[in-house]
Structure 1
Amino acid sequence: MGFCVDFIEVLLCFFLFLQTGTSVYSEGQMPNFDVPILNVTAVSGTTAVLPCTITGITDDNKVAWVDPRKKLLTVAEKRIITDLRISVERPFTKDWNLHIRSVRLNDSGEYLCQINTMPVKSMKILLTIHEPPSIIEHSGDQTVREGETVALWCKVVGEPYPAVTWYRHYIHEQKSAKSAIGEEGEALRIHNISRYCEDIYECMANNDIEPGASQRMKVNVQFPPEIQLYSNRMGQSKGKETILDCRITANPHGYIVWKRKGKEITNSHKYGITVYEDDRYTKTLSLRIARLNDDDFGKYKCYAENKYGTDTEEMMLYEHVERRITTTPKTTTDGSLIETYSWKPAVYYDPDSRYSPTRSWDDPKYSGNAGASRAGSEKTCRQSHHMSVVTLGFVTHLIICILQR
């Protein structure tokens, strides 16, 4: 029987297949399948081998393969269809194995190996195709405002159907790490997201067929500016230099500036503006003021703005005057000269009348490392003042004792 190439020839081949081999067989001479019914599993892209071993076959018998859609594939060793992936391989005389190269998912199903006896004998073989997972669509990187809900998703395919696990990569940590989050599924939702949730997220699909599939997505969380001052008040002496620092936390960073009397301060011989990157969200806007004079004391405003909002904070720069020691000579009845010491606290020039220089020296409003570029802590200032009083008191007592002698 020749090779069949079109539909009419296929029908003819099938008719000849059914009509051939009508001989009368004695018992034990009937062709039989020599392998048990079994199932075959193959991975997509590989070659699937469907075995069919027959004993007792004669020259009058023909063997045919039929696919799950009842389509005739081969008769004897000839391929009936045009699919070049299909062939019949016979490593031994009894073998009529069907080979399907580069199998696809739609090749799955029940195949029949048939012998044209009367009636026709058939053996069923179930072919199952396993396919490694793949991600065909995903949500991609997300940029959201703080407080919103983020939806990340991955659409996966594979056979058997893959399980999807979500991971978070802590890219801002010193050591690279990741951890599983949420539950299995194609979608991950993060409700009321905060800036601390900004990271790389990854969906991983797995069905025990290698290779697995994964997709990373970056979540960027944005929020309005937040300003923090190290101190709301700064004291410095006239003629010296001082530095005012303002920390701005925002994402993204936009317009940041120091203002004086409603006007933006820019770099000049008087002012120096420097921006320092503290971390991924925070910058320090540093204002250096050279050679302080009377016009430099007063309020300074730090202002920040981005597309989500604005923030502002004020700092009071006041004049700090060094403490002075005055002595008053006094003569005793015996002619001895005794000097007494009186203490005059530092005088603060403050344009804001709410803070009067006549207030107590221990008033917390005057705490700070006055005279330095940046304010110190209240504790440091109080310890320093206490040590000065004790030391000078001891010196005074020593002078009086020497004079009395």
Structure 2
Amino acid sequence: MNLDKQFSVHPENATVWRGQPTVLNCAIGSGPDATISWQKDGGPLPNSNRYHLLKNQLLITDVTDEDAGSYRCKATNSHANRTRFSHEGRLQVEEYPADLEPGILPVSDQRHIAVPAGGTLVMPCPVTGWPRPRLIWQFSQPGERTSELEETDEVLIRRNVDLQQEGVYTCSVEGNSDLFKTFNVVITEPVKITVPPVSKQTIRAGTVRFNCTAVGRPAPTITWYKDGKPLAVAGRIVVLPSTDGKRMELLIRSLTSEDAGVYQCFAQNPTSSASAWATLNVTGVSAAAPTGVQCWPAGARAVAVRWPKVNADVMAYTVQITTPGGTSLPGQPVIGIEEIISVAEPLTPYGFQVRAYIKSSSTNKNVASDMSESVMCQGQGVPIKLARQGDDILVSWKQFADQTPGVLQWILQYKAENSSDEHNVTLDKGVTNHTIKVPSEEPLQVRVLGTRMIPWLHQNLTLVPWTSTTIAIHAPDGGEVTAVPEDVEVTDVKAREFTVRWRCEESELSLETYTYMVCTRKVDGNEECMESRSKSIRIDKLSPSTEYEVRVQARIPARMAVGEFSKPIHIRTQAEGTKRFENLSYTMVNTSALRVSWNSLPDKYTIHYSNELTLPINQWPSVDTVGNTVVLTGLDLTKELYVMVTGYEPLGHSQILNIPELQYWFTPTGVQVTWRGQGPRIVRYSQNLTQSLDLWHTINVTTNSVHISGLEPDLTTYVMVVAPGPSARNQVVNILPRPPDQSSYYLSIGIGCGVVLICLLAAAAVCIWRRRKRSHSPV
């Protein structure tokens, strides 16, 4: 806390025209900011609404002769208990000028103003010029049209402001369109924690949740602290936000003794902050954590974890895995002291911790120990393929490289069998095969390592498997091409183009260069072929909504040799226009979310949605997705909702999907009507539209559905649902006559068929009886 000894800016002597505005400046360094007040001729300022205190400035509008005099400013830092006075500056007032061009006097105002609700909003726009120019004020609320205000003052003041005063204010000089100022005003509300965290006591190895709900304007951000320090959110500790962003739930899994402490949620926006705290007490009989945990890579997607046996009556161990993204994954119980863990991502570091479950001699219950120290390992050892041509062994890992992007470097290792003398060959990230000399009578052991980080993660590679060159296949020598492309697939299908991809293992194990011929043919047309040097190609200039046959052939250009074509596959291109979005539909998820889906191949789409159909589409909220379905959250489903899907390449959009407020279905005794939103409703219905509304049948309900019975099935039913209150919106649905009930028709057919069947069975029984009677009668 301090206040500088000298002012950095003092009021200066100035001469101003009568009737014009003027400004005096004053500034001093202070921490926190000093309180600035002004004095005139050694006393307080005159009580006049023409005097306006701005930040480090005194603005005087419509200067008169009484404003002449000496001015100085007074700076007070109450925290430092210090006060400073500036030098005096003398203001002289002269007669009106003969002519003065209009202009806006520069003042140190804010163009982006945040004002607390109930506070005072001050927007200075002092105008110079003679004759005095007229000032015009305009105001526009968010999403509304601009309107002209009645005020023409050079300082626009709004007291006791609320949300109705939020928006954009503009002052401009009439007849001079280039002279204007704009103020963006946001009304703020202080941060409040409405649901603070509650202190808890939880047993070791359990799960605990702390909730923290905060409101404010702008919406506050919530962060968590433990014992006064920022909480590291990763692994077992995650923060789960609610859909509206107001609640941040702190979730801690697999509790340990170290998790006990004081947890504080801190909510803050640019203008205010608030905090609340709770304590966590971790209980239960203590048990020491396993020590000496180690890990080794055991394959591209496998890690071996080992630990010494705990000197206690251990019932089981669990190995907890922490993913690179910080997600904590508890493992299954293990009886021994070793486990081979399969990881999802190869060449990616994972954290491993071990917990023991020990039988307590005092309580005869299983007690969870604390977690061990975390150790880090990643899968290692790349799957390879070997091919021999003479004394050359081609080692290839192309398939793995294609499936595992982001590798920065490879190391090929080889050694003689029954030897520990390893040789390393470091290769660039783009290399996917390498040839080594290996006489057939002297086989080698080979393996390939990869890394996604530099420097490499230091690991014990004892368990990473080797591959013997004795299993190498023999590469073909000359002659025909035996390679046939496999796993041909068509992806990224659009109306006029698609991508073809395939595999060809034999080409990866060959020293020769392969190319590929990709042929497409309309089911009823000619075949067109294109050559590719890679194992994918983009085919364009296709016809929309057309079925194509696709096949791929391997070639060796140096020998002008070709192989057999792959088995043909069939694919249909997309339709252009709105047909791409056929069967656009929705399903409700909860009271503020729904899932929108459409019948189209997964691709990039933008989903626009709004409760206001008249709003321009570029002002609708939107989300992007890569797929053909998306969940929209944070919706106001108490009103009609409009949804439109936009697709790209080519650009097109769906019809607007109207998601109604009311839905209905027929029941055996009437019709069930449901609506979105909670709270009491007044339901009115009639089957005579010309009838006065006060004569309609009325039902008061407190749920979001109603069953209406006693209706004439051949007439249309008109239903209106109204929420109580003078400004409530009506929700209306017209229910068409009930579809014909065919049950009596089918019942008649069923009864008729049954009677015929009974008659046939009776006739057959009579015939059988007569035959038996004749067989027993004497001849």
Q: Which TM class, normalised by the smaller chain length? A: 0.3 to 0.5
CA radius of gyration, larger in: 1
- Please report the TM-score for the alignment, with normalisation by the length of structure 1: 0.32
Q: Higher relative contact order by CA 8 Å / sep ≥ 6: 1 or 2?
A: 1
